[in-house]
């Protein structure tokens, strides 16, 4: 009597491994990502662990790629290709205004759009795909360094030291020059001298990341 042949265990392909890795780096659960694309909480867990569905639908792939800051091709799509033959690195634009003024209340951090940068430029800037987000500046407290309406790239791997950072105080976001004051305290400095420095304890803020690039209208 012949023995039944057991089916081989499912092995995640590169797209599934890329999705899992990007979610881990971003610190977001598969359940949360599933709900973000309008699926049941176990959808992406089944996609990665069991191979069902075999391939992500185009809309789901696009939304996930933009949010996680990776290319659609990485998740199994055709993707956009640069002149050098490399994938573009997708950097999500978040609907959050980092206030250079009294403070902007952060909206839900779900990407509504994206920029695409060459991998070479990202490497030259020392930026890691999936760890960078673009947000818009509102207010005049960082003039002339940053104008209201400028777009800034925030490196979320860099959350210590001095420089220009996006920080969260309560529910409000601010973009400020951060200076150490010793004994667990910092000063938030505005480029516009009309705004006085604000001194706070490190336990009173959450550092989102360092501002590493800006763009805006001339």
Range of the domain at 14: 10-79
Backbone angles phi, psi at 85, to 5 degrees: 95, -5
Looking at 79, 103, 130, the residue that finishes a domain is 79
Residue 143 has pLDDT above 90, yes or no: yes
Percentage of residues in the chain with pLDDT exceeding 90?
36
Taking all residues of the chain, what is their mean pLDDT, rounded to a whole number?
81
DSSP state of 81: B
Q: Are residues 87 and 182 in the same domain?
A: yes
DSSP per-residue letters across 111-148: -SEEEEE-HHHHHHHT--TTSEEEEEEESSTTTTTS-T
At residue 100 the predicted structure's pLDDT band, cuts being 50, 70 and 90, is low
* Cα distance between the two ends of the chain: 80
Question: pTM, whole model, 2 decimals?
Answer: 0.62
Q: Are residues 75 and 90 in the same domain?
A: no
CB atoms within 10 A of CB 82: 15
Instruction: Specify whether 169 is located in the same domain as 68.
Output: no
- Evaluate whether 134 touches 105 at the Cβ level (below 8 Å): no
Question: Which residue has better confidence, 72 or 18?
Answer: 18
Both 92 and 194 in a single domain?
Answer: yes
Q: What is the CATH number of the domain that holds 35?
A: 1.10.260.40
Which of 29, 61, 79 is the last residue before a domain boundary? 79
Domain count along the chain: 2
pLDDT of residue 86: 45
Summarize pLDDT for 33-63 with one digit per residue, the tens.
888 888 898 999 999 999 899 889 988 888 8
Residue 213 lies in a domain: yes
In this structure, are 133 and 216 located in the same domain? yes
Note whether 102 and 205 are same-domain residues: yes
- 65 and 95 share one domain: no
Q: Is residue 24 part of a domain?
A: yes
Q: Are residues 142 and 194 in the same domain?
A: yes
Domain shared by 27 and 62, yes or no: yes
pLDDT range class, residue 185, cuts 50, 70, 90 = very high
Instruction: Please indicate, yes or no, whether residues 91 and 178 belong to a single structural domain of this protein.
Output: yes
């Amino acid at each position: 009597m012949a023995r039944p042949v057991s089916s081989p265990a499912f092995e995640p392909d590169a797209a599934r491994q890329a999705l899992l890795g990007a979610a881990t780096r971003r610190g977001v659960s598969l359940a949360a990502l599933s709900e973000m694309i309008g699926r049941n909480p176990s959808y992406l867990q089944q996609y990665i662990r069991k191979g069902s569905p075999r391939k992500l639908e185009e809309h789901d792939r696009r939304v996930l790629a933009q949010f996680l800051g990776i290319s659609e091709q990485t998740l199994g799509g055709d993707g956009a290709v640069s002149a050098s033959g490399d994938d573009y690195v997708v950097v999500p634009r978040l609907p959050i205004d980092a206030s250079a003024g009294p403070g902007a209340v952060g909206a839900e951090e779900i990407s509504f759009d994206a920029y695409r940068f060459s991998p070479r430029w990202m490497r030259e800037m020392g930026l890691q795909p999936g760890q960078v987000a673009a947000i818009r500046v509102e207010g005049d407290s960082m003039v002339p360094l940053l104008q209201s309406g400028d777009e800034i790239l925030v490196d979320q791997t860099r959350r210590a030291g001095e420089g220009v950072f996006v920080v969260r105080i309560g529910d409000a976001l601010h973009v400020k020059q951060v200076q150490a004051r010793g004994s667990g305290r910092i000063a938030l400095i505005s480029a516009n001298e009309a705004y006085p420095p604000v001194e706070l304890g490190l336990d009173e803020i959450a550092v989102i990341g360092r501002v590493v690039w800006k763009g805006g209208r001339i």
